C-alpha cells in the first residue's frame, strides 16, 4: 500500500520499479483476496472475527480513501470487499472506531495540513501533455522501421537520419517523461532499460554501427527537442564530429 502515499524518493517499492505498476499489483492483490472470502457471515472467514479482518481492514481504509486520487473511474475496492468493508465500519463498533481514527489522521494531517498528494505522481501530478507521433508509432497506427521492441521500450530508425546509423529509443509508456527534466526516482527503471537497449543497438553491426556511437537526449526548446516524448538518439556508422 506504500505506493499510494510514499514519495518518489522511496522508490522502488519491493519488486515494483514505478508507482503505476505498484498500484496495478496492489489492485490485483485485492481481487485475489476477494476470491478467498467466505460467502456467509459478516467477517472474511464467516461469522467470527479473525486476524484476517484486523489485518486487512486498515489497508482497505487506505485504499478506499487513496485509490480514487489516482483513478476515480472505478470503485476503489472489489464488490465483495466493498460490502465487507462497509458492513464492518458501519455495524462493528471496534472497526468503526478504527475507521474513524485512521480517517481523522488521513484527512486532517496528511491531506488538509500537509497536502501529501499534491506532489505524488499520478495523484496531484499527472501527465497532461498532448500525445505525440510516438504514441501512434507505439500503437502501430503509423509505420516505422522497428529494430528492437519489448513490453517496455521501442527502438526504430530515425526518418531523418543525422548519421549513417541513427536509431531512436523510446519508452512505450511516456508516464510523464515528456523530457528528461521531468524524471524522478520513479523513472529510474525505464531510463535504465532505455540505456541498456541503446547499448545493444550500438553494438549491432547489421544496423550500421561500428567502433562506438553517440547517445543524445535533446531536452526542451534550448536543447532542440522536437517530440515531447522522451527519446534517446543512437548515432554512429562513421566518426562523428565534436559536440557543440
Coil vs helix vs strand at 124: coil
Q: Which residues contact 94 (CB under 8 A, 6 or more apart)?
A: none
Nearest-5° angle of CA 231, CA 234, CA 237? 160
Judged by phi (left if over 0) then psi (alpha if -120 to 50, else beta), residue 133 lies in alpha
Pairing of strands 165-171, 153-157: antiparallel
Write down the catalytic residue from 187, 229, 231, 233: 231
- Give the separation between CA 17 and CA 226, rounded to whole angstroms: 28
Nearest alpha carbon to residue 122 among 240, 231, 7: 7
- Does residue 231 have an active-site annotation? yes
**Residues comprising the chain, all counted:** 244
Residues marked as catalytic:
231
Amino acid at each position: 500500500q506504500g505506493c499510494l502515499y510514499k514519495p518518489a524518493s522511496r522508490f522502488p517499492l519491493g519488486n515494483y520499479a514505478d508507482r503505476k505498476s505498484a498500484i496495478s499489483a496492489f489492485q490485483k492483490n485485492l481481487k485475489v483476496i476477494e476470491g478467498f472470502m467466505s460467502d456467509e457471515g459478516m467477517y472474511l472467514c464467516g461469522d467470527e472475527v479473525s486476524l484476517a479482518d484486523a489485518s486487512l481492514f486498515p489497508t482497505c481504509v487506505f485504499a478506499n480513501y487513496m485509490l480514487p486520487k489516482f483513478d476515480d473511474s472505478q470503485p476503489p475496492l472489489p464488490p465483495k470487499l466493498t460490502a465487507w468493508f462497509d458492513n464492518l465500519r458501519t455495524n462493528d463498533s471496534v472497526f468503526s472506531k478504527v475507521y474513524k481514527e485512521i480517517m481523522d489522521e488521513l484527512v486532517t494531517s496528511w491531506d488538509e495540513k500537509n497536502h501529501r498528494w499534491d506532489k505524488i505522481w499520478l495523484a496531484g501530478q499527472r501527465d497532461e501533455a498532448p500525445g505525440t507521433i510516438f504514441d501512434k508509432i507505439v500503437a502501430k497506427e503509423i509505420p516505422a522501421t522497428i529494430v528492437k521492441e519489448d513490453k517496455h521500450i521501442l527502438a526504430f530508425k530515425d526518418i531523418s537520419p543525422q548519421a549513417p546509423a541513427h536509431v531512436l529509443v523510446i519508452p512505450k509508456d511516456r508516464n510523464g517523461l515528456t523530457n528528461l527534466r521531468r524524471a524522478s526516482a520513479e523513472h529510474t527503471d525505464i531510463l535504465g532499460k532505455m540505456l541498456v537497449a541503446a547499448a545493444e543497438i550500438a553494438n549491432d553491426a547489421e544496423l550500421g554501427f561500428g567502433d562506438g556511437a553517440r547517445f543524445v537526449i535533446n531536452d526542451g526548446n534550448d536543447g532542440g527537442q522536437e517530440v515531447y516524448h522522451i527519446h534517446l538518439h543512437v548515432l554512429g556508422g562513421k566518426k562523428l564530429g565534436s559536440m557543440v
